[in-house]
Structure 1
Amino acid sequence: MTADALPTAQTSAAAIPQKAVSQGWLWTFGLAWLGFWLLVMLPGQFMLVRLASALDPAEKIGVGSFLIAEMAIVIVVSVPVIGWLCDRSSPRFGRRRTWALAGFVTATVPFALVGLQPSWQPAAALLAIVAVGQSAALVSLSAMIADQVPPAQRGRASAAVGVPQVIALAGGMIIVTELVTDLGWSWAVIAVLALLAPLPFLLCHREPAAHARPAADARAAAATDPAASAAARPGIRSIARTYHDLGWAGISRVLVNAGNLVGTTYLLYFLSDSLGLANPESALTALILVYLVASGLGSWAGGALSDRLRSRRFFVAASAGLQVAAALTLALVPTWTASIAAAVLLGVGYGVFLSVDQALLTDVLPDETTRARDLGIVNSAQHLPIAALMGWLVLSVAGYTELYIIAAVVMALGGIAVYRIRSVR
């Protein structure tokens, strides 16, 4: 039996969209993700650190760390809950569109007010609400790929998720550092752009009606029929088989993301402490630009090629391999020239991973009635602070060479884990 003929979880338990989505759908879908990434990437990379410095200069490190950790914890907790609610709602506007629009409004309104706060405590309260809105937008937009995009287009749809992340970070940094430098106005401007970006997609593209929920029907029958009740209760082995591929896809995603975050989070310290550069901040900016351009190209090419070749696992494993090579380059050849080469490898690898991994994850969803919940659980695991814990533990007893070698091992394990998936190529 060929890999193409293997029965997938999706074909056995969930309806597969057959109608191709239009180019207009893909472009506006990417625009919606641009709005989401503006709310996520800029605070994590720059805006929260700048806010903490302005509100409490003496305790800026502690305040900034608290704000970042607070948002991560809220996302980890709220994403599975919102995913569960999204799967079970049936508003006339469309369950995914309704939750996405509500999420963007919930996130952008308090986001616009964060920069105006006199102290970090009210800012923290607003950012907790922002994180709830981010969670709603994340789970609903992610589920739309499984709901509406046929497998032959999922690589390109996933590229529409990955490429805007690069554009949001690069373009957003220019906005908040060069065009709108006032603290209060910078938060407000990003909030307005983030709210406007998804409107063409959410208002112009109707959502297909949700399919009937066989799981709910089975539970209703079980309530009146003891025999049906026994049959409807899945055993542990049955659940393990059903979620086998999704579990391994989630493990692969968590490991590759954790290793990549180690490579990017501690790069400034690597440039100053290991390479001893006179101006590490400028060097970091140059490397980030190289990384972002390479990531954008990798995301676009990876999504298109994985659709054309009908292959997912190979591209995820190859993307992990490129990032392993980048980490080993930083570990074994600690020079400025090698750092540029590592930025290219890391960027291309992560760009391919961004597009193809999302398509792979969508392909192995086991049940159409729980898509948002299942994606929410995987996305929550992705926000666990594994990279920060890894960096703290390793750098407490060793150096950057050991840190990047361990990061390479973690990403290699993520690339290997993808071959535990049996239902897709």
Structure 2
Amino acid sequence: MTMADEQATGAARRVTGRWVAAFAMAWLGIWMAQLGPIQLLLPAQIDEQLHPDHWIESVVAFGIVSGIAGLCSIVAYPLTGALSDRTRSRFGRRRPWIASGAVVFAIGLIVLGLQTDIIGIGIWWCVAIIGFCILGAAITATISDQVPVDQRGFVSGWISAPQAVGAILGIGLVLLLAADRFIGYSALAVLLLILVLPFLRLPDPLPPTSVVAPLSAKGLLESLWISPRKHPDFGWTMLSRVFVNFGNAFSTSLLFYFLLFGLGDKNAETDLLLVTIVYTVFVVLASLVLGRASDRSGRRKPFVVAAAASQAVAALLLAIWPSLPMGFVAAALIGLGYGCFMSVDQALATQVLPDPASHGKDLGIMNIAQAVPQAIAPLAGAFVVASVGGFAGLYVLSAVCAIAGALVVLNVKGVN
């Protein structure tokens, strides 16, 4: 373990099962509150307002709203991460931001459920995403604050495993409450607050020194730029994350439309749920098993490369042999790859941070590489399908992005 790793671990003691359970519960609430709207509520709400003549019009509108929210995340992630780095309160350093982020997120969702025009939908989805970023930046930083390096792959798996489960539970809850969109949004907001609460009851130790560097607008803006020349491992890790997340988003964000229009599947809604369940099972298994395997081996890059390759193979299978059975095979491979990537790459990211005193800000910047691809992929994917190569072209592009991510991460030198 390097000196930087030792500084980054926070407390040297391993985190307990109680800590991991509360961490996982919090992320389950976060992912339900984000993915429930993205997968079902938000597209349906936009479609209801537009009444489009063609599905691509709805996807484009959804992509624009998501893209604007993605721009908000570019600012919110590092800004609130930097502020939490400098927070010294009797409630801790990260806890005030976790709590306030959860409240902003919940309020954004509840008010979003009342909107009846596209502008209002866009504004309040941005508010919800800002809350998501505040909460996500602070709770992710607790990994670097409190989790030893040899536990980070396993703990990071409890970010990605709840993501997959949260997608299923969020969709299921929304379907149960489909008669009233407002109730659906409100239920997700309430569950978010309930599931985050146990983590807020855990200790949030302050760093050894209480000295905090002055924060100015100029200094903050300058700190948001992390030079890839001075910190090449951080730059390569972030670029790899951008590529792999684009690959995953291109494969998954238009899956419903692929089933309905690409395959002419008359049972697209039911089959989407079944495909998603297969994806979820493999994400959960890969996140927890391969994250722990990475910890035990002390290696990160081979797992990241294999994860990206698994997603590339799945995308190429869909491009070459598009069918429902192949959809299930691809879902398993994508889930296997993305689950492994999410847990191991998050652990890798915590080991390439430039400054032990700025974990929240630096991880906030790193998280942009996940948020932005997920936000703009539906719009970019719709353009590819409509203008370039249909769904086959979309999946070839997905494979290219995943392979690029695998090649880029090989340039990281400070982590095996």
Partner of 1:416: 407
Distance in 1 (CA, whole Å) between partners of 2:262 and 2:48 is 29
Distance in 1 (CA, whole Å) between partners of 2:14 and 2:200 is 18
How many Å apart are 1:389 and its aligned residue? Answer: 5.9
Aligned residue for 1:92, secondary structure, equals coil
CA contact (8 A) 2:22 2:198 kept: yes
CA contact (8 A) 2:9 2:149 kept: no
Larger radius of gyration: 1
Distance in 1 (CA, whole Å) between partners of 2:359 and 2:394 is 36
Partner of 1:308: 296
Q: Could you tell me which amino acid in structure 2 is paired with residue 192 of structure 1?
A: V
How many Å apart are 1:399 and its aligned residue? Answer: 2.9
Query: 1:100-139 alignment to 2 at 5 Å?
Result: 100-139=98-137
Q: Could you tell me which amino acid in structure 1 is paired with residue 175 of structure 2?
A: T
Distance in 1 (CA, whole Å) between partners of 2:379 and 2:190 is 35
Aligned residue for 1:108, secondary structure, equals helix
Aligned residue for 2:272, secondary structure, equals helix
How many Å apart are 1:179 and its aligned residue? Answer: 4.6
Q: Could you tell me which amino acid in structure 2 is paired with residue 95 of structure 1?
A: R
Aligned length: 402
Partner of 2:219: none
Q: Could you tell me which amino acid in structure 2 is paired with residue 112 of structure 1?
A: I
Distance in 1 (CA, whole Å) between partners of 2:52 and 2:319 is 34
Q: Could you tell me which amino acid in structure 2 is paired with residue 74 of structure 1?
A: C
Partner of 1:281: 269
CA contact (8 A) 1:10 1:16 kept: no
Structure 2: runs of 5 or more not aligned: 216-221
CA contact (8 A) 1:275 1:335 kept: yes
- After superposition, the Cα gap between the structure-2 partners of 1:130 and 1:389, relative to the gap in structure 1 and judged at 3 Å, is closer
Distance in 1 (CA, whole Å) between partners of 2:212 and 2:355 is 9
- After superposition, the Cα gap between the structure-2 partners of 1:358 and 1:181, relative to the gap in structure 1 and judged at 3 Å, is farther
How many Å apart are 1:201 and its aligned residue? Answer: 0.9
Q: Could you tell me which amino acid in structure 2 is paired with residue 212 of structure 1?
A: T
Distance in 2 (CA, whole Å) between partners of 1:202 and 1:242 is 36
Q: Could you tell me which amino acid in structure 2 is paired with residue 98 of structure 1?
A: P
Q: Does 1:319 align with 2:314?
A: no
CA contact (8 A) 1:306 1:315 kept: yes
Q: Does 1:10 align with 2:8?
A: no
Structure 1: runs of 5 or more not aligned: 220-232
Partner of 2:259: 271
How many Å apart are 1:212 and its aligned residue? Answer: 2.9
Query: Mean Cα displacement is larger for which, 336-345 or 147-156?
Result: 336-345
Distance in 2 (CA, whole Å) between partners of 1:98 and 1:111 is 20
How many Å apart are 1:388 and its aligned residue? Answer: 4.1
Q: Could you tell me which amino acid in structure 2 is paired with residue 311 of structure 1?
A: R
Partner of 1:224: none
Aligned residue for 1:399, secondary structure, equals helix
- After superposition, the Cα gap between the structure-2 partners of 1:102 and 1:167, relative to the gap in structure 1 and judged at 3 Å, is same
Q: Determine which of 149, 152, 172 is the counterpart of 1:151.
A: 149
Aligned residue for 2:372, secondary structure, equals coil
Identity of aligned residues (%): 35
Query: Mean Cα displacement is larger for which, 243-252 or 272-281?
Result: 272-281
Query: 1:60-79 alignment to 2 at 5 Å?
Result: 61=58, 64-79=62-77
What's the CA shift string for 1:89-141, capped at 9, x where partnerless? 21221121111111001111232232233434434333332222111101101
Q: Determine which of 304, 316, 324 is the counterpart of 1:336.
A: 324
Q: Does 1:400 align with 2:394?
A: no
Q: Could you tell me which amino acid in structure 1 is paired with residue 384 of structure 2?
A: V
- After superposition, the Cα gap between the structure-2 partners of 1:198 and 1:118, relative to the gap in structure 1 and judged at 3 Å, is same
RMSD: 2.7
Q: Does 1:376 align with 2:359?
A: no
Distance in 2 (CA, whole Å) between partners of 1:333 and 1:171 is 30
Query: Mean Cα displacement is larger for which, 162-171 or 383-392?
Result: 383-392
